[in-house]
Structures are given as structure tokens and as C-alpha cells.
Amino acid sequence: MAQLLPKITIITPSYNQGQFIEQTIRSVTEQEYPELEYIIIDGGSTDQSVDVIKKYADKISYWISEKDQGTFDANNKALAKVTGDFWCIVNSDDLLLPGALKKVAEAIINNPDQKWFAGGIHYIDETGRKTGEEMPASPERIAGYAFINGCWISHPTVFLSKDVLQEVGHFEKYHLMDLNYWLRMEKKGYSPMILPEYLAALRIHVDCKSFDRIKIYKEINTVLSDFAENNTLKANYAVQQALRAHKGNYYKMVFLTHLFNNEKEQSVTWMKQVLKNKPGVVFEKWFWGAVKRMVFGIDVNDPLREEFAFDKSRANWN
């Protein structure tokens, strides 16, 4: 049976995540999956990351530690080394869940023409405690693209055929390079098959990009706007509405974050942006709740305080 299993390549880009990378490596190497290729590209870490990688060198197919131009560059270096039938990227602070590769392999075998698989994600905190979970569901397509709605699948659950790499190519220089890649795949006619299985865990902490929601929302706008511009989609009314909605979400996030961090001047500035982008927001309940808080202050027990009043992210966005 082993010779019938698809070879799966796991890629881990790494940079100064020494406190987490051992858990990541073990989550991959302890899958008990015989046809595994594991590639780690470290960007010249100055913490204990390289020592941890060396500790597991006999279980890693290829690794290197050298300066790079960021995560997209590290991933592209890894893609040049991929020999697996399918590949997946698991960051150095995230985890594969036990049995994930066997579940994916079964799906690959049972769906030989499918090139793109994704599954459910667990969310964990800095200590590894599970804080939530999400099973993706495809939204309605806009101008033929489901991902104009944003990134509704999580990259450590995504497994792609090597055929995709040959046709779509490598990652482009975006912080949300995965969203850009999914759009480019859709352009080539690919669609993900959603497996009803939880495959990976995404760690949310102050050193990860996902923690910095303001920059994430801004990057979503950048990726979608660039893709629409480069593929003559901006003239499409539905696309225009979607881009406007994404911009509104970004303005709302910035406004509320400044508000709940008691940054009044910035709150007023971004409230004006919210109104300019969508005047009809004055008919939405959340807006008047925000105005009330601006006028009367924010109660220490405000249920939204925990969601919007948080420490600034320490993520490396280079």
C-alpha cells in the first residue's frame, strides 16, 4: 500500500520562531506518513531556531539557513526543491494535526483529478491552547472568483498538486501571498475541494502577522485591488462593490482599534473615512454604538474591549 501513497512535501519557512518551531517540526515528522518530504527554509534566525532544526536534521529532507527577502522568498526557495506529488506550507509557529497527512492522502487517492484540497483549521494561542476552530465554506463567486470575497481558507490546511506549481508558478511579493496565489489559481480554472476534516492549527500571538488585524485588512485590500486592476475586473460592478466593502472593513477595523485604545484624534480621523466610504453606515447599529463610546467613554467591562484593545503586534513584516 505504501508505494501507492502520494508523496507529500511540507514546507516550513522559519525566522526567529525558536520558541515554537520544535512543536511545528514534531507535528510534521510524527505524522507516521511514509511518503513525506520535509523542507525548512530559515531566513538566518538569530535565536535558537537553527539549533532546533539541527536537532531534527535526520528527519528533514532539506534545510538551509541564510538571509532572504521575506516569507515569499523563503517559500519560493522551497518550491524550487519540491519533489512531492502535493505540497503544503506550515509556518514555523503552526502545527499539522495528528493524522492530517493520511487524511489528505486518502482524499488525493479517491479524487485523482483534483489538484487543490483544503480543510478545517484550529486556532491556538501562544501556549498551544485551542481557542477556536473553523471549517471553510465556499462563498458565492464574484465575477467568477470565490476569493474576491477574501481569504476564506487557511494556508496550513491547503495541499496543492505539483501540476499547480508548474502552471501557476511561484509566490509573488505580498504579505498575503496565499490570497494572491488562490486568485491566480482560480484564474487558471482551479477550485478547492473542502475536506470535512480539521488538518492544522494556526497559532495567533503577538509575533505573528495574523495578530495584526489592521495590516491584514489593509493587505487584503492591496491584493484584491491589484488583482482586479491587473485582470481588468475593476469595471465589473460586483467587483467594485466587493472592493468597496473590503475597504469599509479596513476603515472600520482601524477606527474601532483607535477608539478602544483611547486614541481619540485618530478615532475621529478614521470615523470620517468610514463615513466617506459608506455614508449609509449611519443606519447601522454598530456605528452609533461607537459614537456613544466616543462621547461617553468606554466602560472597563465593555464586551468589545478585549476584541479591539490589544497590544501592538511585534510581527516581522519585512
Question: Does residue 29 sit in the same domain as residue 162?
Answer: yes
197 is a domain residue: yes
Residue-level pLDDT at 315: 45
Q: State how far the Cα of 128 lies from the Cα of 94, in Å rounded to an integer.
A: 10
Q: What is the pLDDT along the chain (318 residues), one digit of tens a residue?
A: 444 899 999 999 999 999 999 999 999 999 999 999 999 999 999 999 999 999 999 999 999 999 999 899 999 999 999 999 999 999 999 999 999 999 999 999 999 999 999 999 999 999 999 999 999 999 999 999 999 999 999 999 999 999 999 999 999 999 999 999 999 999 999 999 999 999 999 998 666 554 567 888 899 999 999 999 999 999 999 999 999 999 999 999 899 988 988 888 999 999 999 999 989 999 999 999 999 999 988 888 887 776 675 555 444 534
231 is a domain residue: yes
314 is a domain residue: no
Nearest to 190 by CA among 174, 156, 167: 167
Question: Does residue 85 sit in the same domain as residue 234?
Answer: no
Question: Does residue 169 sit in the same domain as residue 236?
Answer: no
Look at residues 182, 205, 228 and tell me which one is the last residue of a structural domain: 205
Question: Does residue 177 sit in the same domain as residue 215?
Answer: no
315 is a domain residue: no
Question: Does residue 272 sit in the same domain as residue 197?
Answer: no
237 is a domain residue: yes
Residue-level pLDDT at 265: 92
Q: State how far the Cα of 30 lies from the Cα of 28, in Å rounded to an integer.
A: 6
Structural domain boundaries, residue 278: 211-308
313 is a domain residue: no
Look at residues 147, 182, 205 and tell me which one is the last residue of a structural domain: 205
112 is a domain residue: yes
How big is the CA angle at 210 (ends 242 and 144), to the nearest 5 degrees? 30
Residue-level pLDDT at 240: 95
Are 198 and 173 a contacting pair, CB within 8 Å?
A: no
Residue-level pLDDT at 4: 87
Question: Does residue 70 sit in the same domain as residue 219?
Answer: no
Question: Does residue 147 sit in the same domain as residue 110?
Answer: yes
Residue-level pLDDT at 83: 97
Q: State how far the Cα of 67 lies from the Cα of 11, in Å rounded to an integer.
A: 17
Residue-level pLDDT at 193: 98
Number of folded domains in the chain?
2
Question: Does residue 155 sit in the same domain as residue 297?
Answer: no
The Cβ-side half-sphere exposure at 66, using a 13 Å CA radius, reads: 6
Q: State how far the Cα of 27 lies from the Cα of 61, in Å rounded to an integer.
A: 15
CATH number of residue 128's parent domain: 3.90.550.10
Residue-level pLDDT at 215: 84
Residue-level pLDDT at 298: 87
Residue-level pLDDT at 210: 46
Look at residues 181, 205, 229 and tell me which one is the last residue of a structural domain: 205
Residue-level pLDDT at 301: 81
Question: Does residue 169 sit in the same domain as residue 303?
Answer: no
Question: Does residue 63 sit in the same domain as residue 42?
Answer: yes
Cα-Cα-Cα-Cα dihedral sign, residues 189, 194, 200, 203: positive
Indicate the residue type of 49.
S
Residue-level pLDDT at 1: 40
